Amino acid sequence: MTGRGEPPEGPPENNPGWEDEYRSLVFDESFVRAARLQEFSAQERMGDHARAVRSLPGRPTARRRCSRAGIALVLLIVLAFATAVYVGFRNPYPTPVGRRAEPLQSTVIPLAPQGPVPGGAAESLLADGPAAGHRTGASGINLPPVRRTKNFSDSQVTMALTTVKDYLVGSSLDPDVLTAGVVRPVGRLLDPDQTAQFDRSVDAPAADGEHSATGWLVRFDPAEVELADTDVRVNGTLSYTEAGADTLEVVSDHTFTYALRPAVSGPHRADGASLFTVRRVLHFLLDREDIRLHRLEVRSAYVQAGPQSCSADTTGALRPLLAGERADTSGPAGTDPYATGVPAATLCGTLGVSSPTQGPPRGPDAARSPRSRP
């Protein structure tokens, strides 16, 4: 026999050569248990088996263990997020509800003249009439001294007053608003909760105390009158106070004097103008969001305007009596729109004005001085 043989009783013990030769073929127990294939036994191989080995369920590898750990982590995150959402919906502290603007309540009082309406040149009427000492245009709407309140800073108060002034300028002095039917300068400053009421008031005015266009703005029918002078005279005051921890209330009380003439084609008579006076007492509310967004809520409007007839329909536009015209009916005791204090007229008043101011106003506070009746 050639080659290396083995004795029948097995290989000799302590044979260094054998150990080196078969070391690579000896597997430990853990390697055998981890095998994915297992040979059928001799008895099993006697049957009709197509294969000599069978597959064993493998042990999870490190990659699978990492995959399962990742899935568990994702499930944990989802569970934590769902818990947070659930707790948020069941928060025992109620979420603050934003304040909603209330509808405007307005009253418009016609003031009937006691005789024929005086006429003349627009410049003379403004210079010599009861509004002679009043400032012109926006300069007559003066901001009061600004001081911080308990819950609003100086800058917030200033912004609120500036917004109110912009509203007064747009709704009382803008020529396009006065005679051309433009409403955007007014509507863009309103709280969105009042937009629908405002739109209905200008599109379909009604004498119900809520949908009078002349409660929101001063407007004339361009088919009947036009401005004889665009320099409107203005006199009045602004004041403010806190209406709550989050709301400022601003009150404006101004008298506007317009020089009007008939809207006719062709040349106008130089002395065909007349004065028309509107006193507007408005209450505004502005919360922090309104102040930030430069908008406001008009809570109430009390308007006296004349000369007009007591029977005039003033819901859509004011109906001035022009030079030489008379009122069809007379009203109660005379009402002076230039006087200060709480307005007294209810449904209709008689127009009675105080004497003109002598000379121009002195100092910045002169335009806000009260006018006394003679």
Q: At 70, is the pLDDT very low, low, confident or very high (cuts 50, 70, 90)?
A: confident
Q: Is pLDDT larger for residue 322 or for residue 332?
A: 322
Yes or no: say if 156 and 171 are a contact pair by the CB < 8 Å rule: no
pLDDT at 357 over 60: no
Residues 14-35 have a mean pLDDT of 58
Residues 347-374 have a mean pLDDT of 49
Q: Is pLDDT larger for residue 104 or for residue 34?
A: 104
Q: How many CB atoms lie within 10 A of CB 263?
A: 16
Q: What is the pLDDT of residues 210-253, one digit of tens each?
A: 999 999 999 999 999 999 999 999 999 999 999 989 999 999 99
Q: What is the pLDDT of residues 197-212, one digit of tens each?
A: 999 999 999 999 999 9
Q: What is the pLDDT of residues 71-99, one digit of tens each?
A: 888 888 888 888 777 766 554 444 444 67
Q: At 364, is the pLDDT very low, low, confident or very high (cuts 50, 70, 90)?
A: very low
pTM of the model: 0.68
CA–CA dist 107, 283 (Å, integer) = 12
Yes or no: say if 291 and 159 are a contact pair by the CB < 8 Å rule: yes
Q: What is the pLDDT of residues 26-35, one digit of tens each?
A: 656 666 666 6
Q: What pLDDT, on a 0 to 100 scale, did the predictor assign at position 69?
A: 77
pLDDT at 373 over 70: no
Residue 350 in tokens: 């008689």
Residues 243-264 have a mean pLDDT of 95
Q: At 19, is the pLDDT very low, low, confident or very high (cuts 50, 70, 90)?
A: low
What are the residue ranges of helices labelled H in the chain? Answer: 16-22, 29-33, 42-45, 62-89, 122-128, 154-172, 175-179, 184-187, 195-203, 213-216, 288-293
Q: At 322, is the pLDDT very low, low, confident or very high (cuts 50, 70, 90)?
A: very high
Yes or no: say if 364 and 326 are a contact pair by the CB < 8 Å rule: no
Average pLDDT in the chain: 81
pLDDT at 363 over 50: no
For a pLDDT cut of 90, what percent of the chain falls above it? 57
Element (H, E) at 236: strand 225-244
pLDDT at 362 over 50: no
Range scoring the smallest mean pLDDT among 51-60, 157-166, 277-286, 314-323: 51-60
DSSP sequence for 316-359: SSB----TT---SS--SSEE-TTB-SS---SS-EEE--PPPPSS
Q: What pLDDT, on a 0 to 100 scale, did the predictor assign at position 6?
A: 54
Q: What pLDDT, on a 0 to 100 scale, did the predictor assign at position 119?
A: 95
CA–CA dist 159, 294 (Å, integer) = 8
